C-alpha cells in the first residue's frame, strides 16, 4: 500500500468482531484499527495526516489542529464550511483529494 490506512471508529468494542468481519468480507485493506470515542486523540497518537469522515462535529476540532478532513457529503453536514475541510461524495473524489493534499503535506 502507498499509504498507511488507519480505521478509527467510535463504534463500541461490542461491535469489533462484526466490524472486522465486514471489512474483511468487503476486501477493505488497512494497517490498523482503533475503537475509541476520542478520534482526535487517536489520530494525534497515530500521526494521522488526513481524516476521512462524515460527522460534521469533527470538522472544527480537526481544522483547529491543522489536520485536514475529507468530509463525505451527507445531508446533515452541508452547513460545514471550514478551512482544512474538503468535501467528497465518493471514494474516487476522496482519492483525488488525497492526491491534492499529498503535495501540500510534504
Give me the tens of pLDDT residue by residue for the chain, a chain 106 residues long.
477 889 999 999 999 999 999 999 999 999 999 999 999 999 999 888 899 999 999 888 999 998 999 999 999 999 999 999 999 999 899 989 998 988 776 6
pLDDT of the residue at 106: 62
Buried b (16+ CB within 10 A) or exposed e, 57-93: ebbeebbeeebbbbbbeeeebeebeeebbbbbeeeee
CA 100 to chain centre: 16
Question: Taking the model in full, what pTM does it have?
Answer: 0.83
> What backbone torsions phi and psi does residue 22 show, to the nearest 5 degrees?
-65, -45
Amino acid at each position: 500500500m502507498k499509504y498507511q490506512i488507519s480505521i478509527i471508529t467510535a463504534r463500541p468494542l461490542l461491535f469489533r468482531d462484526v466490524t472486522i468481519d465486514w471489512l474483511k468480507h468487503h476486501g477493505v485493506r488497512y494497517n490498523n484499527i482503533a475503537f475509541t470515542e476520542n478520534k482526535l486523540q487517536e489520530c494525534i497518537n497515530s500521526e494521522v495526516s488526513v481524516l476521512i469522515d462524515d460527522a460534521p462535529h469533527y470538522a472544527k476540532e480537526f481544522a483547529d489542529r491543522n489536520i485536514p478532513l475529507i468530509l463525505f457529503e451527507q445531508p446533515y453536514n452541508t452547513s460545514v464550511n471550514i478551512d482544512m475541510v474538503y468535501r467528497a461524495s465518493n471514494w474516487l473524489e476522496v482519492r483525488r483529494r488525497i492526491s491534492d493534499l499529498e503535495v501540500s503535506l510534504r
